[in-house]
Amino acid sequence: MDFRQIASTELEAMGAFRSPWLRPAFHAVDREAFAPALFWSPTADDDGRYPVLDRERDENGWRRTVWGTHASLITQIDDGAVRPEDGPALVGGDFTSSISALDIAYEKLNHLDLEEGRRVLHVGTASGYDSALLCERVGEERLTTIEFDPVLAAWGEKNLRAAGYAPTTVCGDGLAGWEPTAPYDRIIATCAVRTIPDAWRQQAAEGALILAPLTTAYSPGALMKLTVRNGVASGRFVGPAFYMLARSHRINRQLNPPDSKTKTASAISPATVLDRDWGQDFAIGLHTADISMSRRGEGEMRQAQLWSGDGTCVTIVNYEDWWKPRAVTVYGPRNLWAEVVAGFTRWCVAGSPHYTRYGLTIDESGTNLWLDHPEQRVDQ
């Protein structure tokens, strides 16, 4: 069965080849050359494990998954501490590298507005698949691709060379960019960030585009598309983008709150704030500072836990009887639930805008969040 042709037909039907260079690039780059012989499915089985796809044992199933339009290939868990050779992985480990699903990868590349001859910085080489596609468009001599993880960097470079591509490959911190081949007409990240690094803006050519998944501590992210003019980067969110965070931007999960606590009531049902769609969560995250959130328990035991970026403040809110005086437990000087409710309220007062109405302007003075146009700044 020709799985590549099936994928091509599906991508065509969903409009993934809106940029005319993507169709020939898709057919020129063999995705199988960038997929490892063993990788995990991102969907857990009935036993709560992520199955391993093994080319040697089931080549047909392996190839079907590699060319699947909607499934990512998980190539690393817990920074390599878990190995696919050891079999299915238990739910609970963190996915730390993957080959993005075809529909996600191509939708992102459509936003890049990439013309021939542009100089490109690709942050997050990993397997090298996206870098190969970019080489097909701009030429290997105009692409710099950088990967933080030494094992992934070596793997990605090996894959690229074996497939006949020789861009500038760097093992280093992509958040610092790569000055030797700057300035860049396009900077694209295939890892998520919580803030846009100054180095990207500083290494961008006049009129350059920066395209990166931007997340908040509170919620997974959205795709940010910025244009750089006169040293100022400005643009808006253009779609969802659930990517793994750059390592230095990962959420802190080490909590160290004081033992003392206070109890209070909630001003609003937690379900109203927490149990809507991802878009609402992301918008709330834009209105809060450094607050992370997780849900736990079921039924009468259902709770939400919130914690500050430094781990010194923790707040736990009960869904059940939320209006009672002991429904919210606060550790540390900040009532994080009250801060989230305040962010939710600001979003509601603004008319509950869709997240694509938000944008960012970034200059030497910092980052400003805005709604609809840069002059309409939003307090965070």
Confirm if 109 and 211 have CB atoms less than 8 A apart. Answer: no
Tell me if 121 sits within 8 A of 186, measured CB to CB.
yes
Q: Which two tokens stand for residue 122?
A: 């690709």
Rounded Cα distance between 24 and 42, Å, is: 28
**Exposure on the CB side of residue 63, measured as CA atoms within 13 A:** 11
The catalytic residues are 100
Q: Is the four-CA dihedral 168, 174, 176, 182 of positive or negative sign? A: positive
Number of H-type helices and E-type strands within the chain: 10, 20
> CA-CA distance, 126 to 152, in Å (whole number)?
5
Residue with tokens 């199933």, as numbered in its chain: 61
Segments in the chain forming alpha helices (H) = 3-13, 22-28, 59-66, 102-110, 129-138, 150-162, 198-202, 270-274, 278-287, 336-349
